[in-house]
Structure 1
Amino acid sequence: MKVVIADDSMLLREGVARLLSDAGCDVVGTAENADRLMREVQLTAPDVAIVDIKMPPTHSDEGIAAARVLRERHPGLGVLVLSQYLESEYALRLIADAPGYVGYLLKERVSEVAVLVDALNRLIDGECVIDPTIVARLMRRPQRREPLDALTAREREVLALMAEGRSNEAIGSQLTIGAKTVEAHIRQIMQKLNLPESPDNNRRVLAVLSYLRSAT
């Protein structure tokens, strides 16, 4: 896969680039700010962009803003926001407009290169990947009555693992249940969340979006 990395820290940019290159990825560009990121994406046409949440000039939420612009201009581009901030609101803002092809991971995951590469591959496939730590925090919050009140405890567990970007096989392994049981739970989740099959929507991503909206 072709990757562009944007972070104002040269050490982090070069470190992530080295890790991904060693893992077989093609790092085609790096950027220290949002403007340079836009140019690099335009010039190199990457499969995925890794973006720091806070970049110059204000170091507030430039990464989130840049990620949303990239998704608008390049619908097939995967965008992964890396952050040291454990804020579920940032994750929800990121996926609110276009929930597919976007992810939000904490920077501590960078050292787990297999986890990082797996997340990038999932984004390229159109999935939504949210850091497990954020998902765990959301699960501990009091839930609103809608739209998840109809889900069973097991269905909530399955949906939480879906929010982490887990495959059906990984969900089954985590919960010690068979593949058919996982599929049955997911069918029930889609039905209860009123997400009928459609060629225009990724129901799995929409289910995750419903989960995050109810928990923030």
Structure 2
Amino acid sequence: MRVVVAEDAVLLRAGLVRLLTEAGHEVVADVDTAEDLLRAVEQHAPDFALVDVRLPPTFTDEGIRAAVLLRAQHPGIAVLVLSQYVEERYAAELIASRRDGLGYLLKDRVADVEQFLESVETVGAGGTVLDPEVVAQLLVRSRHRQDLELLSPREHEVLGLMAQGLSNASIAANLFLTESSVEKNIRSVFTKLGLAHEDGGNRRVRAVLRYLGYPDPGAAPPGAASPGARPTRPTRQEFRP
């Protein structure tokens, strides 16, 4: 395959280029910014793009935004994204658009050279390879959205005003309800979102975070082992079209 590599860390980029070259691929360009990645794709028309999520100048989401753009503008290119952490918003957008010829791996997976090169081959052949941690976090996010769908229209209104920082009295005034009615709706919101008294923490804050789409700080982290559970090696989630 003809490959473009976009990675700002010089040593890692050199290592990736060497791995790909020794595996029989042709690296037609290796760059360190999203802009250079897009230019390289236009110039070389590669088969495959290996992209770091965080690229200059802000080192936030330039790389993965470029990957989303590549998928839209050059549907024939396979894209494998590497990230230190799961960027949920753009990961979901990448996967929702098309799953053929797509990979999203955390960078520590590169240490397993054989598995990494297998992932490159799978994605290049039109398959999909998703890191187990990506799958776990997106499933949690999806489940939280489903929880919100359980709320009634009135409960949605109440939770929306809670998210704006309004007190129960202000919510009541805005919705022309009694405070007791607002309190009843809030209790129902807590119940439907699974925020019980004994969970600890501020249930009001946790409900608002759920409403805004942020991770619940009171929930167990994705993939957390139950007490006494034996640790297991993550398994790759692989799908072929």
Bin the TM-score by the shorter chain.
0.5 to 0.7
- 1:126 aligns with 126
Consecutive unaligned residues in structure 2, runs of 5 or more:
148-234
- For residue 199 of structure 2, what is the aligned residue in structure 1? none
**8 Å Cα contact 2:86/2:134 also seen in 1:** yes
Paired residue for 1:18? 18
Larger radius of gyration, structure 1 or 2? 2
TM-score using structure 1 length: 0.62
Map of 1:1-216 to 2, 5 A cutoff? 1-137=1-137, 143=143, 144=146, 164-165=237-238, 202=241
8 Å contact kept, 2:2–2:26:
yes
The structural deviation recorded for 1:128 is 2.2
**Conservation of the 8 A alpha-carbon contact between 1:91 and 1:130:** no
1:95 maps to a residue whose letter is I
Work out whether residues 20 and 113 of structure 1, in 8 Å CA contact, stay in contact via their aligned partners in 2.
no
Give the root-mean-square deviation of aligned CA atoms. Answer: 2.4
What whole-Å deviation, never above 9, does each CA across 1:113-166 have from its counterpart, x for those lacking one?
222222222222322221123334556789448xxxxxxxxxxxxxxx8x8115
Secondary structure in 2 matching 1:165? strand
Report the Cα distance in structure 1 between the residues aligned to 2:93 and 2:112, rounded to whole angstroms: 25
Secondary structure, counterpart of 1:72 in structure 2: helix
Inter-partner Cα distance in structure 2 for 1:137 and 1:94: 14
Paired positions, count: 152
> What TM-score comes out, normalization by structure 2 length?
0.56
Residue pair 1:34, 1:55 contacting (<8 A) in 2 also = yes
Instruction: Give aligned-pair identity as a percent.
Output: 45
Change (3 A) 1:139 1:69: closer
Letter matched to residue 237 of structure 2: E
* Unaligned runs of at least 5 residues, structure 1: 146-160, 168-201, 203-216
Q: 1:76, CA displacement in angstroms?
A: 0.8
Output the CA distance in 2 between the equivalents of 1:25 and 1:47.
Answer: 10
Question: Distance between the aligned counterparts of 2:72 and 2:96, measured in 1?
Answer: 12
1:142–1:8 distance in 2 versus 1, CA, 3 Å: closer
Asked whether the equivalents of residues 104 and 134 of structure 2 are also in contact (C-alpha less than 8 Å), the reply is no
